[in-house]
Structure 1
Amino acid sequence: MELDPATAITRRAEERREERKEAKRPRAGKAAITVNLQGALKKLRAAIDSVENVAQNMAAAVEELSASAEEISTSVQQIAQGAQNISSRSAEISKIVNELMKAMQSAAEVSRKSGEEAKKAAEEARRSAEDGKKGIESLQQVESRVEETAGLVKELADRVKNIGRIVEAITSIADQTNLLALNAAIEAARAGEHGRGVAVVAEEIRKLAEESRNSAGQIAEIVREIQEQMSRVSESMESTLNRMRTGSKVIMAALEALETLYKNAEEVAESAMNVARLVQEESNKVKSIEAMTSEAAAAAEEQAAAVEQVSSAVEEQTAAIQELNATAQQLLDVVQDAQSALRDLRRFVGGGEIEKQRR
């Protein structure tokens, strides 16, 4: 059974005391005593050297272990601090991600409502565009009717002009008839009694011509008034047509703009809905990140707890190493005492103390 260094040194010291006692006892001869003592001294020296080497190696190893333990303790503390920082940062990140997720959900809701409102606006614009198209069709029909009426008015004006020319012809005929009646009356007056009947007829013809002329004049006045009114009507209708054409162009432009607005509103509604879907998808991703962050925080807390346990174990190991270091130092002290005793014993053997005691 191998003994520990301290026990071995103690046993060697006891053997040395026994050897001293034996040295005091009478022996067969000086040579035998000297040989025995020298052999014992060599063995004791070898044992002390072995113990010293063991003690020095143990002290060096303990010193290295102590330095390593301190480094490990420092590293463990740093790891623990890092784990605590990770846990704290993870909690902050989880809070920020949670707020971000709420903001994204709000944005998704706003985008969804905006999409619905834009869709309603697009539907209203579509209905307005359809109503506008119906209105422009009705306006075009009215414009066509007005154009037809204007054509009829123009045709009527042309006929009225013909009536005027006819009236002028009637007036001219009445004037000529009146002149012929006047000439007939003159000839009847020259004929005397024989021309009295002709004179009466000529007078009647003159009166009829005069009445015809007066009637033609009245008709001409009426025709003139009709022409003036028809001219005003024609101008009014032409102005109305121009305004209707301008209004049609404006309405058409408005309808085109309304149709563009309708298409844009549809695109906006679709884009808003797409944004809402994308934001919802990103919100789900952020929610997953928040869950992973929470898991990371929990893992960091568990790691911090584990590191604390490791730190406690390292502290216990450091304390044990310090005790071992103290033991190694005590062992070196024992070795030094043994070396001192060995030097004394050598002087005792070399100085002839044994021989003196024998005498």
Structure 2
Amino acid sequence: MAKLAPPPSAANQRRTPGYAEADRNAAQDLVEKRRIAKERAAQRAASRTAAKRQQVAERIASATEELASGIAQANAAAEQLDKAMEQISSGATQASAAAQQGQTAAQRLNITAKNTSEVAQASMEKTNALQELVRQTSADIEAIIANVGLSADRNVQSARLISELEKQADEIGQVVKTVAGIADQTNLLALNAAIEAARAGEHGRGFAVVADEVRNLAEGAEKSARSIRELISEIQKDVRVVARDAEEAGNTGKEEVEKGRAVTAQLTQIEADMKQLQGECAFINDMSASVATAIVQFLKGTEIIASASEEAASAAAQASTSTAEQMKAMKDIETATEELAQMAEDLKVNTDSEKSSEQLAATAEELSATISQANAASQQIMSAIRQIAKGAEQQSAAAEESSSAITQVNRQSQEIAQKAVDALEKVVNMVTLLTESKVAVDNLIVGISTSANVSTTSAENVKSLEVRVRQIDKIVDAITNVAMQTNMLAVNGAIEAARAGEYGKGFAVVASDIRTLANDSEQNAEKIKDLVRSIQDQVLIVSRDILELGSMANKDAHNAKKSTADLLRIEKEIGEVRVGIVSIQSNTGQAALAVEQAQQGVDQIASAAQQGSSAAQQASASATEQAKGMQELSQAIEDISALADELQAA
């Protein structure tokens, strides 16, 4: 085993003084060497620390540059966001104004639809009531023309019957002519009797008296026959007048019947037009109700749009506020970043690394807090953008729904307008037909009244006939009386002839002839009486018919006046319907303007929704980019904080 060296103290005790000095020197050299080694180690450590500090400073400078780049990127994104928010806010304001415009137009449309529906319903009710009145008026006029037709036929029959009176008057005239001939013959026989009486001398005196009486009677009979002939002539004139009037009344009545039928045909057409008008008014009423429903749908869409616009504006305002806060934070970050960059430069030359690292750590911590604040604002912006995007989708869907509703309103309003045109055309046609019908009925009244007046005149003429016929009857009685007296005188003449004996033979022959003529005259007088009675019977029938026809004509004229009053009422009511249809046309014109205004609002809303959606997408992209930049900023500041910690550790 090796031998251990003795302890220093023991060795020193054994060493000599010379050796002791050498040991002291050696120890001092060792201390010096150690000091130098320490200094060299310290220098090497300082060099390593300086190199590390330089390296950290360079890394901090690099991180700061990245941070500055991220800040620039975030600022650019923030500016884009701000512009997008302004665009969204402007679009929301535009959409809100357009929605208000659409609501105003829809309210006007609602009013016009309500007014149109009320007018259409009133027109339907009025037209329904008028249809019954038209049917009743048509029935009344048909009854009138039936009576007028009957009167016309009876007038024609009366004309024929009266014409028969003229023939009977001719027969009376022929008989009277015979009577007049008998009177002439009797007068001649009386003259012969007077001659025979003169021949007989004293024996023919009584016969002369008879002859004179017979002559006087014959002259009276001839005068009566002449009077009858004159009366017959007057009767024939009156008969022709009455027959002509009756025939004209019959022909006029037939013409009035045709006019009346034309009126009833027009009323039938009016009733058919009214039925179609009712259908058109019902269509307008139904379409107005459908328009009102579509308007409710449109208003619902505009309310959604207005609400979405308000929310979009609120979200845009919130996003703008957050963007402003973010931009302010970015300015603070930018300032802090510049300070970091300066600190990084200072680190390269600053020997007090501890103090510098503390300042660097503090600044990094403040910057991290500011970035967190900016990042929170970024999250708020993202939330607002999502809300804006959702509102834009709702707004777009509501705009599409409103557009569909207003398109329906426009189409149905056009259909209402066309039906109003058709309805007005029918109303105008009805007014024209009613005017023509009223004129025709007025003419019918004039014709019927004329017939009544003609009947009155004819009745007076018939009365004249009755008077003349009675006069003939009286004259015939006189002729009969003359015949009886003549017959009696003939008997007396025969008696006188018998008394005269041989002188009265010629007188007896004359008396016999006179008696024969007297009998013939009496028989003819009876014929005249029979004919007169027949004429009287026919005149009575004609008179009764004429008076009855006149009464019927007056009654028909009165009824026709009622029909005229009904037509006037119908015309007045149709005029009111016409005013209603015109107001519907006016409403459709206003509706067209309101639809145009509403459509413009919808188009503006759709455009604003599209712009808002595009701006929201752009804002979302900017926000996403900004969020990414925020993450990069956060990472950069974390790196800087780590470097600060590393620097402190060095």
Q: Does 1:101 align with 2:110?
A: yes
Q: Does 1:300 align with 2:300?
A: no
Q: Relative to structure 2, which stretch is displaced further, 102-111 or 183-192?
A: 183-192
- Quick one: which amino acid aligns to residue 289 of structure 1? F
| 1:59 corresponds to | 68
- Quick one: which amino acid aligns to residue 328 of structure 2? A
SS in 1 for 2:293: helix
Structure-to-structure mapping, 1:147-158, within 5 angstroms: 147-158=156-167
Q: Does 1:49 align with 2:58?
A: yes
CA contact (8 A) 2:154 2:250 kept: no
Q: Which runs of 5+ in 1 are unaligned?
A: 1-24, 343-359
Q: CA deviation at 1:138?
A: 0.9
Q: CA deviation at 1:168?
A: 1.5
- Quick one: which amino acid aligns to residue 153 of structure 1? I
| 2:320 corresponds to | 311
The CA distance in 1 between the partners of 2:325 and 2:294, in whole Å, is 46
Normalising by structure 2, we get a TM-score of 0.44
The CA distance in 1 between the partners of 2:36 and 2:95, in whole Å, is 82
| 2:19 corresponds to | none
Please give the per-residue CA displacement for 1:139-169, whole angstroms capped at 9, x wherever unaligned. 1111111111111001111111121122123
| 2:584 corresponds to | none
| 1:218 corresponds to | 227
Q: 1:275 aligns with which of 261, 271, 284?
A: 284
The CA distance in 1 between the partners of 2:42 and 2:322, in whole Å, is 56
The CA distance in 1 between the partners of 2:200 and 2:36, in whole Å, is 231
Q: 1:329 aligns with which of 335, 338, 348?
A: 338
The CA distance in 1 between the partners of 2:247 and 2:334, in whole Å, is 123
The CA distance in 1 between the partners of 2:198 and 2:221, in whole Å, is 25
Please give the per-residue CA displacement for 1:302-335, whole angstroms capped at 9, x wherever unaligned. 2222333333333333333333222321221112
The CA distance in 1 between the partners of 2:98 and 2:222, in whole Å, is 118
The CA distance in 1 between the partners of 2:45 and 2:193, in whole Å, is 210
- Quick one: which amino acid aligns to residue 118 of structure 1? T
Structure-to-structure mapping, 1:62-81, within 5 angstroms: 62-81=71-90
SS in 2 for 1:264: helix
Q: Relative to structure 2, which stretch is displaced further, 206-215 or 92-101?
A: 206-215
Q: Does 1:139 align with 2:148?
A: yes
Q: 2:268 aligns with which of 256, 259, 273?
A: 259
Q: Does 1:89 align with 2:89?
A: no
Q: CA deviation at 1:35?
A: 7.4
Q: 1:112 aligns with which of 101, 115, 121?
A: 121
Q: CA deviation at 1:180?
A: 4.0
Q: CA deviation at 1:191?
A: 6.1
Q: CA deviation at 1:181?
A: 4.1
Q: Does 1:178 align with 2:176?
A: no
- Quick one: which amino acid aligns to residue 246 of structure 2? M
Q: CA deviation at 1:79?
A: 1.3
Greater RCO (Cα-Cα under 8 Å, separation 6 or more): 1
The CA distance in 2 between the partners of 1:215 and 1:125, in whole Å, is 64
- Quick one: which amino acid aligns to residue 235 of structure 2? I
Q: Does 1:237 align with 2:246?
A: yes
Q: Relative to structure 2, which stretch is displaced further, 99-108 or 55-64?
A: 99-108
Q: Does 1:248 align with 2:257?
A: yes
CA contact (8 A) 2:186 2:214 kept: yes
CA contact (8 A) 1:104 1:280 kept: yes
Structure-to-structure mapping, 1:190-209, within 5 angstroms: 190=199, 206=215, 209=218
| 2:300 corresponds to | 291
Cα RMSD, aligned residues only: 3.3
CA contact (8 A) 1:98 1:287 kept: no
CA contact (8 A) 1:76 1:307 kept: yes
Please give the per-residue CA displacement for 1:93-128, whole angstroms capped at 9, x wherever unaligned. 323322331232122112211232233223222211
The CA distance in 2 between the partners of 1:164 and 1:274, in whole Å, is 78
The CA distance in 1 between the partners of 2:201 and 2:211, in whole Å, is 14
| 1:123 corresponds to | 132
Please give the per-residue CA displacement for 1:8-46, whole angstroms capped at 9, x wherever unaligned. xxxxxxxxxxxxxxxxx9544999888777766655544
CA contact (8 A) 2:148 2:254 kept: no
Identity of aligned residues (%): 28
The CA distance in 1 between the partners of 2:174 and 2:44, in whole Å, is 184
- Quick one: which amino acid aligns to residue 284 of structure 1? T
